[in-house]
Structure 1
Amino acid sequence: MRDILIAGAVALILSIIGTPLAIRIFSRRGIGQNIREEGPSGHHDKRGTPTMGGTVFVLAAILGFAAAHLATWTPPTASAVLVLLLMAGLAVVGFVDDFIKIYKQRSLGLRSGAKALGQLIVGAIFAVLVVRFPNGYGVTPAVPRLSFLRDFGPSIGIVFFTIWVLFLIVGFSNAVNLTDGLDGLASGATCLVLVAYVIIGNWQLRNSCTSMLGKGCYWVRDPLDLAVVAAAVLGALLGFLWWNAPPAKIFMGDTGSLALGGVLAGLAVTTRTQLLLVILAGLCVLITLSVIIQVGFFKMTGRRVFRMAPLQHHFELSGWAETTIVVRFWLISALCVALGLGIFYVEWMPNA
């Protein structure tokens, strides 16, 4: 528990202090947001707002995690390092995308193919490394399986599992990216999901197969350190949200949104809660579905289901105030997290 508190506190302090410094530096260097001309008219006032704020909370999270291990004199675990590397790798892809936008003064950065390729390369490295680590407890499960896997494991084959992990990483990094359309929306919603993963990591630690050799235990490698990762990213993101809440003084950019989606996918894979993430991050899934429905329906009929996609822009054009949309979507996210945690607990109960 001390590791979790230290990681979250250090990351929070670094982020809440570092973000205004980044705002000043980015403003002086003209690192500002470009706005799509076809977007809601109210967004044009946000043109020039400093972006790439994701660099701050990504660094703060990594430093917070490192501080927790230095303070407790414990080495980092393979699970945690893999999730942090996934976050950093996707942040680099997002950084390149943001840099092109700023350099060329346009709202589009990397071409979709190049961006997807970057996500796939980072995701493939993560997926390959995940299956290389055996169960960390030194105990053989009744049904042999790789330590990281839950919903889909070796039963579907390593190749298909790798494809599944890639789907999660690309899917959720893009889902958070689509959610990042209003001030504080993506950062606030992701904070709630990270709270869930702090709880899940603690629960799995207390009910791990190191101390419980019956059916009611979890075959998860390094659950405590995964909770530390979630706490570090949570603390860093809360510090950033202080400045990103409406009206935002800085945007996270693709640097931040791709990194956050990667963290969620990485935590889902390493805690073996892959399908549960669909519920925990239900708001991101709903927003992504709105884009899929809009594009698919328009291609088939030439008509639109929503005034504009992603979904938050539909409500903007319907006359809702931005803060109203953000707060109500946060409430939807909180309900999704509560439902997901309830399912997680109920799933454990029959085996206890």
Structure 2
Amino acid sequence: MRGVLVAAGVALAVSILLTPYVIRLFIKQGFGQEIREEGPQSHRGKRGTPTMGGVAILTAVWAGYLTAHLVGDVAISVSGLLVLMLMTSLGVVGFLDDFIKIRRQRNLGLNKTAKLVGQFVTAVLFGVLALQFPDEQGLTPASPNLSFVRDIAVVSLGAVGFVVFCYLVVTAWSNAVNLTDGLDGLAAGTSAMVLATYLIVSFWQFRNACGMQIEAGCYQVRDPLDVTLVAAAAMGACIGFLWWNAAPARIFMGDTGSLALGGLFAGLSMVTRTELLLVVLGGVFVVEALSVVLQVAVFRTTRRRPFRMAPFHHHFELAGWAETTVIIRFWLLAAICCALGLGLFYSEWLAASGG
């Protein structure tokens, strides 16, 4: 438990203290956000706000994670490193996207092909490595089986199928968080809630992990405590960044942060065997992504738009809601989704353990 507190506390402190330095540096370098021309008029005033704040989040996560290992007795694990590398690799893809936007002075960075290639290489590498490195019980960081709150043994994807599935999951979540990052603090606050939930889930799995002898209700996962440290550090980093990112934002996380956090969610879901549960926990991200898909599909079919603007949060802005009202209500929905997901997780454990 001390390691969890250290990971979260150090990441929180680093994020809060580092972000102002990043803000000053990026202002000096002219790394300002470009705004969509077709976006809400109220967003025009945000043009020039420093972006790429995800650099501070990534730095804080690594600082919290490594410090927790220096002061604690938990060994660095393959599962933890794989999730962190997935997060960092997608952060690099996002950084390139942000940097190109800034240099070209427009709200278009990497083209779709380049971004998809980056996500593809990162996801495939993670998927292949996650099925390697079995421990003494034969458990690998991820499982080729589909999972809800634990493996669904009858739904096996196989090694190749899992790698394909991994690509779909990583791409879907990184893009979903990226689409949600359109209002001050919306993505950071929602992410902090999802990560707090994963902290609880992974720590519960650690306390109820299967040993050499499988017991009723235990979890067959590898390195759950180290995964808890990753979730704790990421939660602390998001909360610290939110201090400066809350409305009115002094800095935006940019694609550097949103793609990294989406990849982190995907990685956490796979190493904790909760891919389908994440759909509930990240319900706000799911709705935001689906709103874009629905908007495009309906418009191409009927030439009509079901929403005033997509992603979904802009629909309410154009309906007259204040930005802070949209943010707070979406945070409330995110909290409800996390509570519901945590309830499903715990109720399944009660049923499985005969409690």
Q: Report TM bin, short chain.
A: over 0.9
- 2:75 corresponds in structure 1 to 75
Aligned: 1:291 with 2:289 = no
Per the alignment, residue 252 of structure 2 pairs with 251
- Say if 2:224 is the partner of 1:223: yes
Could you tell me how far 1:139 is from its partner in structure 2?
3.4
Equivalent residue letter for 2:137: V
Matched, 1:303 2:291: no
Amino acid at match of 1:126: F
Could you tell me how far 1:249 is from its partner in structure 2?
A: 0.3
Identity of aligned residues (%): 54
State whether residues 147 and 219 of structure 1, in contact with CA within 8 Å, keep that contact through their aligned partners in structure 2: no
Partner of 2:86: 86
Offset of residue 214 of structure 1? 1.5
What is the one-letter code of the residue matched to 1:111?
A: N
Name the structure 1 match of 2:150: none
Query: Which residues in structure 2 correspond to 1:38-49 (within 5 Å)?
Result: 38-49=38-49
Number of residue pairs the alignment of both structures matches = 346
Please state if 1:148 is matched with 2:146. Answer: no
Offset, 1:171: 0.3
User: What amino acid is the match of 1:34?
Assistant: E
The DSSP-based 3-state class of the residue aligned with 1:218 is coil
Q: Deviations over 1:206-253 (max 9, x none)?
A: 110028622310000000110100000111111100000000000000
- Helix, strand or coil for the counterpart of 2:142? coil
Alignment correspondent of 1:312: 313
> How far, CA to CA, are the matches of 2:9 and 2:140 in structure 1?
33
Matches of 1:232 and 1:333, distance apart in 2: 20
Matches within 5 A, 1:103-122: 103-122=103-122
Maintained 8 Å contact 1:76/1:225: yes
Partner of 1:27: 27
Q: Deviations over 1:89-144 (max 9, x none)?
A: 0000000000000011110000011111101111111111000121x3x336xxxx
- After TM superposition, the structure 1 stretch with the greater mean CA deviation from structure 2, 202-211 or 45-54, is 202-211
Query: In 1, distance between residues paired with 2:106 and 2:141?
Result: 45
The aligned counterpart of 2:4 is 4
Q: For residues 310 and 179 of structure 1, what CA distance do their matches in structure 2 show? A: 7
Instruction: State the superposition RMSD in angstroms.
Output: 1.3
Letter of the structure 2 residue corresponding to residue 72 of structure 1: G
Residue 347 of structure 1 deviates from its aligned partner by 1.2
CA distance in 2: counterparts of 1:147 and 1:38, whole angstroms: 43
TM-score (norm 2): 0.95
- Equivalents in 1 of 2:283, 2:114: separation in Å? 27
Alignment deviations for residues 136-184 of structure 1 (CA, whole Å, 9 cap, x no partner): 3x336xxxx7552253578221111111111110000000000000000
- CA distance in structure 1 between the partners assigned to 2:50 and 2:264 by the alignment: 23
SS of 1:102's partner is: helix
Alpha-carbon distance in structure 1 between the residues aligned to 2:196 and 2:141: 23
Give the equivalent residue in structure 1 for 2:137.
139
Q: Do the aligned partners of residues 46 and 64 (structure 1) sit closer, same or farther apart at CA in structure 2, a change above 3 Å counting?
A: same
In 1: Cα distance, 2:213 partner to 2:320 partner: 54
Q: Which ranges in structure 1 are unaligned for 5 or more consecutive residues?
A: none
Kept in 2: contact 1:79–1:270 (CA 8 A): yes
